[in-house]
Amino acid sequence: MRTNELVETYARVLFDLAALADSVDVADEGLRSVVKAVRGNVDLRDALTDTALPAETKRGVLRDIFGEEVSPEVLAVVTLMVDRGHADRLGELASMFGTVAEKERGVVVAEVTSAVALTDDLRAKLIDKLTTAIGGAVSLRESVDPAILGGIVIRVAGRVLDGSVTAQLRDLRQALLTARQGGEA
């Protein structure tokens, strides 16, 4: 099984378990906290990826650290991944879990690129407009790219809405290049 398929399988299993327990949002939050803790603590990451360390010891470490903090579904799937030597894929699992959860819930993901970070007010207005236009729930994946100079680029449902200053300058340049040149008759 390829790595992508493997991570997707774990994400699907976690989603199914969390959906049965009616705790998908709790699982998402818990999984993100596990990933943050593992990424932020070199000793923990080393312990979970150390092949010389017995699996039972790793399970105990996970139970001690996350047993009270995350849902049993998250703990079970994370433990399974660590047991099978996939601790280095926990970040991918968190990302894939979010994707699976959004797809299963019918949430459309809009990738938004702006020159500066969106304000809470602009984010809310954007979600409202996109929800109305699409007719369903929308989730934003935001990124900042100063190269677009200003404005915003939205990729949603196979379409690209480019309102960036860079695109406007490109369009203006093209219009000037193709414009008929005037002169005396």
In order of their start, the domains of the chain are 3-103 (1.10.520.20), 106-178 (3.40.30)
**pLDDT (tens digit per residue) in 104-140:** 888 888 899 999 999 999 999 999 999 998 888 888 8
Rounded to whole angstroms, the Cα distance separating 65 from 143 reads: 32
pLDDT at 185 over 60: no
**Count of CB atoms within 10 A of residue 63's CB?**
12
**pLDDT (tens digit per residue) in 26-49:** 999 999 999 999 999 999 999 999
pLDDT for 137 equals 87
Measure Cα distances from 140 to 3, 25, 136, 182 in Å. 26, 16, 13, 47
Q: Based on C-alpha coordinates, what's the Rg of the chain? A: 23
CA trace torsion 78, 80, 82, 86 (10° rounding):
-100
Phi and psi dihedrals of 35, rounded to 5?
-60, -45
Q: How confident is the model at residue 183 (pLDDT cuts 50, 70, 90)?
A: low
Provide the β-strand partners of residue 138: 108
Quote the distance between the C-alpha of residue 55 and its chain's center.
Answer: 30
For residue 35, which of 44, 24, 26 has the smallest C-alpha distance?
44
Q: What is the pTM of this model?
A: 0.67
Rounded to whole angstroms, the Cα distance separating 150 from 114 reads: 7
